[in-house]
Amino acid sequence: MRGFSFLGSSFIYVIFEEGTDIYWARSRILEYLQAVKNKIPADVNPVLGPDATSLGWGFSYAVVDETGGHDLSELRSIQDYIIKLGV
C-alpha cells in the first residue's frame, strides 16, 4: 500500500499480487472505504478510481527485501543506482 498527499488531495495505492482478480480486489477496497467513512471528516468523500488510468503505466514493480537485511535508504539506493541506472 502506498500513499501520496498533495494540497487538497490524497491518494492511496493498493498493490495486489499479480494474478489477483481485479474486480474482486476493487470490491474489497470499496468495502474498506465504506468501513472507514465514519472515521474521516464528514466533508471527505473517498472514491475509487477508474479501472484504467490515463497515466500510461505499462509496468510497475516494488523493491522488496524479504530477508530484512536492508533498510529503506539502502533499498532506495538500489533502486536509484542499480535498477534505474543499470549500474
User: Of all residues in the chain, what percent carry a pLDDT higher than 90?
Assistant: 8
Give the lowest-confidence range in 6-10, 35-39, 46-50, 60-64: 6-10
Cell 539502502, residue? 74
In whole angstroms, what is the distance from residue 62 CA to residue 45 CA?
29
> Could you tell me which of 65, 78, 63, 86 has the C-alpha nearest to residue 15?
63
Instruction: Copy the grid coordinates of residue 8.
Output: 487538497
Average pLDDT for residues 55-81, to the nearest whole number?
Answer: 81
> Could you tell me which of 61, 84, 59, 64 has the C-alpha nearest to residue 75?
64
pTM above 0.85, yes or no: no
* Contacts within 8 Å (CB) and 24+ apart, 10-17: 15/60, 15/62
